[in-house]
Amino acid sequence: MIRILVLEDNPKVIEVIMSGVRELEQDLGKIKAVVVSKGEEAEDLADSNKIGKFDVILLDCISADGKTFHQAVLGKADSQKIIAISNTVVYNKMAEEEGVLRTVQKNYYDLIGFKNNLKKEIKIMLNF
């Protein structure tokens, strides 16, 4: 089973990502996705070392409680498992500066394109 951690606070984007996860299951098999929308929850996962159990981490920057997911996760999770998904180029560049190798620019005007690019990047990451 593939485990995906989604660090995202926008309900519409979460819906689109989860739709993509369901589509990926057709090719990759069973996927368990955990969605976290608050920075405090992400900090708890990172501090308890549970974050290392995920195969893929989809990392937005700003959380629903105003904290940054970057602060909670970067440096604590394997950067090779992270895909930065901010709609702001600067935030994705900040993640890259912290060692994140993959980014998929979120585009609120083309969420279907975002979903398709994200699915493609997840498959590449998992060698499918």
Tens of pLDDT along the chain (128 residues) come to: 999 999 999 999 999 999 999 999 999 999 999 999 988 888 888 777 787 889 999 999 988 888 788 888 888 888 899 999 999 999 999 999 989 999 999 999 999 999 999 999 999 999 88
* pLDDT attached to residue 105: 96
12: domain CATH number? 3.40.50.2300
Q: Identify the residue whose tokens are 């904290």.
A: 67
C-alpha distances out from residue 98 to 14, 50, 91, 95, Å? 24, 20, 11, 5
Q: What is the DSSP letter of 84?
A: E
Q: Report the domain count for the chain.
A: 1
> Strands 82-84 and 31-36, how do they pair?
unpaired
pTM, full prediction: 0.93
| Domain residue limits at 8 | 2-125
